[in-house]
Structure 1
Amino acid sequence: MNIIHAIILAIIEGLTEFLPVSSTGHMIIASSAMGIASNDFVKLFTVAIQLGAILSVVVLYFKRFFRTFDFYIKLLVAFIPAAVFGLLFAKKIDELMESALTVGITLFIGGIILLFVDKWFNQPIIEEEKDINYLTALKIGFFQCISMIPGTSRSAATIVGGMSQKLTRKAAAEFSFFLAVPTMFAATAKKLLDFYKEGHVISGEEIKLLAIGNVVAFIVALLAIRTFITFLERKGFVLFGWYRIVVGAIIIGLYMSGHNLEVI
């Protein structure tokens, strides 16, 4: 991996992490197209640059993160299911991560679902995070567990989960962003810990790549989040649904034609 690879992957991370399109699917296509070897550092890089994306959420919603203690309790309640399922099924999740076909199929099916989400959940009553109770937060947390299937998209799962609990599209998207902070921080911390447990040491060049990746992911995510919220309020999910169907079909097609897709 070189600096150009790092910048491209970071742009993809910043654009897709908070959109309901699956960053994993896009990473597969990009890494395959660039011929990046799926080594341990590349796998670490694609997770660690999430820290930049996390920071963008904190910066954009700074006041919300320091408004009430109840806010953190809701995030903790929503985070618990993913933490438990992640620990219980870590090995199975890693196995699924090695399957490009799984990612392609999940993207495709998820795209079909997004085509109808706006019609299914069209009578929201919760417009702000402060009106979400603990039970609702927990239910959204269980939806987040679905995203452990590669290609699902954490954002898609949690936003749809929120809308199913009568949150508006904006409220569901914003709670999804907030929930990303503890979830992605925990995933990054675990990946770093595993990396060091396996005896790896990050070189000076790799530290530079991580720094560049996080800065780029932060900047791109800042723009992506604001644009996404505006678009979602006006247009809904249909375009994202068709987009996922196309990307999923591309991955399935490449896999079926014998291309060696490196899953990162």
Structure 2
Amino acid sequence: MTLDAASGLLSGPFADLIKAAILGIVEGLTEFLPVSSTGHLLLMEQFLGWGDGAFGKSFAILIQLGAILALLTIYFGRIWSLATNMFSRWEATRFVIGILLAFLPAAVIGVIAGGYIKTYLFDVRIVCITLIIGGFVLLLVDRMNLKPRYFESTGFSLPMYFLIGICQCFAMIPGVSRSGATIVGAMMFGADRRSAAEFSFWLAMPTMVGAFAYEAFKSRHELANGNMLAIAVGFIFSFIFGWIVVKTFLSYVQRHSFALFAWWRIVLGTLGVVAIYLL
């Protein structure tokens, strides 16, 4: 079956809403896992015939708000505690500074090169290649004899926070994975698996909120052209499935390696290459 034929299976008056729901589920399931939500969404958009035009390119970023609100809901108590203590307790102040340091590199590069990235790198061929490469990176990290020095995400050194932020910048290439780059970077700099995964959650908050706000402003004319319902549907499903993943991911990585995510990336990327060049 060709991609065009597959996309033709979803047609009719509610086709866009069904597609938006599917993409919302994909976003929620993949945003906080080291598999690249953007890469998955680009492949699914291609499969569903959704990705034509500027709105198709913006949709993936806009529905991230559902996943990030799921994370904010679960972490609300800790966020509130951090906010109320950040001016009175050095530990809280230091962690907020660390998050901002980690957020800074992606914010700068996003403003400077965001247009170039969306124009030239949002390509399914790039996604497939980076999915495969990222899968082998995860397998390699699993086999490395790393000696963790940090077991709480609030206790990383300030230079380490900044270096993790630099690692996150690689995720601007679709298919790399924001959470994957953050987790691998943190582990390479001395974090254990759980604290690395948890800091990827903390860093997701300013990164994803900033990306959403920037994209929403740039796409404000498209939002006014009758696309709000599709975004709302994608948002709802993104929230539900993002909530499920956040609730389960930390306990999973404490007991398991990254092999499941690594092989998923490799298989999906390989199938994508076959579909692009042979179908």
Question: How does the TM-score come out when normalised to structure 1?
Answer: 0.90
Match of residue 136 from structure 1: 160
Is 1:36 matched up with 2:50?
A: yes
Tell me whether 1:255 sits opposite 2:276 in the alignment.
yes
Q: In structure 2, what is the Cα distance between the partners aligned to 1:237 and 1:3?
A: 33
Residues 232-262 of structure 1: CA deviation (Å, up to 9, x unaligned): 11111111111110111112222222x6xxx
Q: Which moved more, 1:38-47 or 1:1-10?
A: 38-47
Uncovered stretches (5+) of structure 2, i.e. residues with no partner: 1-14, 87-92
- Which SS does the other structure have where 1:89 is aligned? helix
Separation in 1, partners of 2:135, 2:244: 23
How many pairs were matched up? 255
Deviates more, 1:115-124 or 1:163-172: 115-124
CA distance in 2, matches of 1:29, 1:46: 11
Q: Of 165, 173, 176, which aligns to 1:149? A: 173
Alpha-carbon distance between aligned partners in 2 of 1:246 and 1:194, rounded to the nearest angstrom = 35
Change (3 A) 1:77 1:215: same
1:172 and 2:196 correspond: yes
Q: Counterpart amino acid of 2:81?
A: R
What is the rounded CA distance, in whole Å, between the counterparts of 1:12 and 1:73 in structure 2?
Answer: 32
Distance 1:80 1:44, change over 3 A: same
In the aligned structure 2, how far is the partner of 1:89 from the partner of 1:44?
A: 16
Matched with 1:19 is 33
Residues 125 and 166 in structure 1, CA contact (< 8 A), matched pair in contact too: yes
8 A contact 2:42–2:51 mirrored in 1: no
* CA distance in structure 2 between the partners assigned to 1:77 and 1:21 by the alignment: 24
How many percent of aligned residue pairs carry the same amino acid?
Answer: 40
Runs of 4+ aligned structure 1 residues displaced above 3 Å come to none
> Do the aligned partners of 2:42 and 2:122 also contact (CA within 8 Å) in 1?
no
Equivalents in 1 of 2:131, 2:255: separation in Å? 23
Amino acid at match of 1:73: I
1:79 to 82, 90, 103: 103
Residue of structure 2 aligned with 1:48, choices 34, 41, 62: 62
Aligned to 2:224: 202
In structure 2, distance between residues paired with 1:121 and 1:162: 15
Instruction: For CA contacts below 8 A with separation 6 or more, give which structure has more relative contact order.
Output: 1
Q: Distance in 1 between matches of 2:259 and 2:176?
A: 16
For 2:19, give the aligned amino acid: H
Correspondence 1:54-93 to 2 at 5 A: 54-68=68-82, 69=86, 70=93, 71-93=95-117
Give the conservation status (yes or no) of the 8 Å contact 2:122–2:174.
Answer: no
2:240 equivalent to 1:214: no
The residue type paired with residue 41 of structure 1 is F
